[in-house]
Structure 1
Amino acid sequence: MTAENPSLRPWRDIERRKSRQIMVGDVPVGGDAPITVQTMTNTLTSDAKATIDQIRRCEEAGVDIIRVSCPDVESTTALKQIVRASRVPIVADIHFHYKRGIEAAEAGAACLRINPGNIGSSERVREVIDAAKANGCAIRIGVNAGSLEKDLLEKYGEPCPEALVESALDHIKILQDHDFHEFKVAVKASDVFLAVAAYSQLADAVDCPLHLGITEAGGLIGGTVKSSIGMGNLLWAGIGDTIRVSLSAEPEQEVRVGYEMLKSLGLRTRGVRVVSCPSCARQGFDVIRTVQTLEKRLEHIKTPLSLSVLGCVVNGPGEARETDIGITGGGKGKHMVYLSGVTDHHVEDDDMVEHIVKLVEAKAAEIEAGVGEAA
């Protein structure tokens, strides 16, 4: 037994917005491709070793695409080594200097993150677009409420959905005027209401893939909540083809939160989905510490499967029936283990965590073997 696919339940269906598909390296974005999870390194890009080490940690967490800053020639020089070492496509973040965009494209970046209107004259924009075309680069237009163009701020008086969308459309026109169509767009804001309204309006106006994000969201807890409210609203409405959760936390944490967000909506499946109770006086074991330990010990599992960890028998059996593996707290330090929703055996307190880890690893191997045989 494996957890039921939410798509089989009509009241859980999410109808995704129809967007055209582009390629970021070998990763499809938009169309019917899975929603990709991104993050951004925070090392100096000129320090290739530190940047590659951080990319490795993000790859282990499941990142699909990763962005690096390229503010100077030392960064674009190191980019060649970084691109060669990375197992996922690299997006080069370019802000103002058009030459960095050309250098990044030539260094092998799969995508350039730019605002075409911020990098100088139309001739300079054309040079960057030509470099992207010549090197098979996509482009991400990154509109941000905190750096809107002066004329739009004067026109609207403050950052608002209409200003963000107008900025995006202006930048899109620049690319289209140069016959460039391999682009995706973000209209990010720290204000949840502003971001959701801007993305909703833009989704109706264009057919290109949309990169979702609530920018400057905050720390791990606050930023996760804020991002989940904003991006969750959009994803539930079918809007969004690639996401980045912007946290004041390590990049691999952004990746994990991104996957949890998509998993909760049935849009991606990766790793162990843990169902656990909030803990109360009825608990037969320390649920909080047990779940924390299990989540850490099971980070290496990539196979989608479900695990319920419930402190008592009030809701435990019901939840266990819906998961691949389950455990409910019992009396005198003995707890019931469920396999495929059926009571199977007991486990003692001291052996519980190690026992559950082994059961999950075995179940993941069994599922993978079944997939391999089916293929």
Structure 2
Amino acid sequence: MTKQIMVGGVPVGGGAPVTIQSMCNTRTDDVEATVAQILRLEAAGCQIVRVAVPDMAAARAVGAIRERIHIPLVVDIHFDYKLALECVAAGCDKVRINPGNIGGEDRVKAVADACRGRGIPIRIGVNGGSLEKPLLAKYGGVTPEALVESAFGHIELLHKFDFDDICVSLKSSSVPVTVGAYRLMSEKSNYPLHLGVTETGTPRMGVLKSAVGIGGLLAMGIGDTVRVSLSADPVEEVCAARDILKVSGVRREGPELIACPTCGRTRIDLIALANEVEARLESVDKPITVAVMGCVVNGPGEASAADVGIAGGDGVGLLFRRGEIVKKVPQEALVDELFELIEAL
């Protein structure tokens, strides 16, 4: 089990539930736009949010933003340690930084001292696109081993100044490299891990890459907090993260739909039926599994683990519950009967 840090009032690691993060794409110095976006992210289920701090105007906006939101605020700092100090003084809840890229050790010490004084953790954000040149030369490119060695170099630098309130991310745009890095890091340390595949692109492929990378790691018991990185509205990142947590079995919330892929035995428009059920399930918040199967021959058997389900036939279908047939229903009434059963659960 990883050690635990506190990001504001949200525990990360140490057996705490896996949390969902996102990052604003507004200008941070535009307080109104940034707050509005964060409130939308909160409504979507975001639990920790990050903002970019490229200059002092952005840093000075952090306090005003923090006062108007309800989830912990993380600041993303590169190169200028004074920006981190300004954000810490303004009341941020976590600092994302690479200690090696903000200058001399006296500057690292200043950030570490400021964060320690306020009980603010630091995320060491190692990224394949910004690995140190000696490591790239040593390993012949971006590899899991290079990412992990970079992380430990930054950890040792913070340790030098008696700071260990640390979370680590090791992101690459390559799913295999990312997965390999997190697996190796989990074997070598107990720091809480912030999972993510970086620069995944637009939602179609981005969600797939993130599901494979983040979901695969979560299924192995690796990871304490996640951010799905998409070239899209950040709200889509949160929705994708919630789905990944559900699919990987880490979080149980709301209904899960399972449906067969159809075959030559299917005598109903199963695709339309599944889409109708999925749409109507959006208003259901019970943590149940609902099955939509294509035939009555083996539908209830294949979906016996589902809480409720329907199996289509030729003009008639079956309504079943945990594999046991409840009754036969005319095809046109299948969905309505299904939702009556769901309401009764």
Same fold at TM > 0.5: yes
Q: Secondary structure at the match of 2:295?
A: coil
Deviation at 1:301, TM superposition (A): 4.6
C-alpha contact (below 8 Å) 1:320/1:327 kept by paired residues: no
Select 1:324's aligned residue among 307, 314, 330: 307
Residue segments in structure 1 that go unaligned for 5+ positions in a row: 1-17, 367-375
Counterpart-to-counterpart distance in 2, 1:74 and 1:358: 55
Structure 1 residues 161 and 138, CA, compared in 2 at 3 Å: closer, same or farther?
same
Confirm or deny that 1:258 pairs with 2:241: yes
Once the two structures are overlaid, the 10-residue window that deviates more, 335-344 or 266-275, is: 335-344
Structure 1 residues 195 and 314, CA, compared in 2 at 3 Å: closer, same or farther?
same
The C-alpha deviation readout for 1:238-297, integer Å capped at 9, x for no partner, is: 221212222223323322332333323322111211111224455455443444454455
Match of 2:97 in 1: 114
Aligned amino acid, residue 138 of structure 2: K
Greater relative contact order structure (CA < 8 Å, 6+ sep): 1
Counterpart-to-counterpart distance in 1, 2:175 and 2:322: 40
Aligned amino acid, residue 291 of structure 2: S
TM-score normalized with structure 1 length: 0.81
Match of 1:32 in 2: 15
Structure 1 residues 281 and 40, CA, compared in 2 at 3 Å: closer, same or farther?
farther
Counterpart-to-counterpart distance in 1, 2:265 and 2:39: 42
Deviation at 1:32, TM superposition (A): 1.3
Counterpart-to-counterpart distance in 2, 1:244 and 1:36: 9
Deviation at 1:36, TM superposition (A): 1.8
Q: Secondary structure at the match of 1:51?
A: helix
Q: Secondary structure at the match of 2:186?
A: helix
C-alpha contact (below 8 Å) 1:328/1:336 kept by paired residues: yes
Counterpart-to-counterpart distance in 2, 1:216 and 1:150: 21
Deviation at 1:208, TM superposition (A): 0.8
Count of residue pairs the alignment pairs up: 344
Once the two structures are overlaid, the 10-residue window that deviates more, 312-321 or 271-280, is: 312-321
Match of 1:6 in 2: none
Quick one: percent identity of the two aligned structures?
A: 46
Match of 1:83 in 2: 66
Select 1:179's aligned residue among 148, 162, 166: 162
Match of 2:190 in 1: 207
Deviation at 1:185, TM superposition (A): 0.4
Select 2:149's aligned residue among 158, 163, 166: 166
C-alpha contact (below 8 Å) 2:268/2:314 kept by paired residues: no
Structure 1 residues 116 and 238, CA, compared in 2 at 3 Å: closer, same or farther?
same
Aligned amino acid, residue 253 of structure 2: R
Counterpart-to-counterpart distance in 2, 1:194 and 1:54: 32
Counterpart-to-counterpart distance in 1, 2:283 and 2:94: 29
TM-score normalized with structure 2 length: 0.87
C-alpha contact (below 8 Å) 2:195/2:224 kept by paired residues: yes
Deviation at 1:117, TM superposition (A): 0.9
The C-alpha deviation readout for 1:281-334, integer Å capped at 9, x for no partner, is: 5545544344445445544655422111223324432255422232222443x5
Confirm or deny that 1:217 pairs with 2:203: no
Deviation at 1:189, TM superposition (A): 0.8
Match of 2:296 in 1: 313
Aligned amino acid, residue 288 of structure 1: I
Deviation at 1:62, TM superposition (A): 2.3
Match of 1:146 in 2: 129
Match of 2:119 in 1: 136
Q: Secondary structure at the match of 2:238?
A: helix
Counterpart-to-counterpart distance in 2, 1:249 and 1:358: 37
Select 1:103's aligned residue among 61, 86, 89: 86
Structure 1 residues 236 and 339, CA, compared in 2 at 3 Å: closer, same or farther?
closer
Confirm or deny that 1:45 pairs with 2:28: yes
Deviation at 1:30, TM superposition (A): 1.1
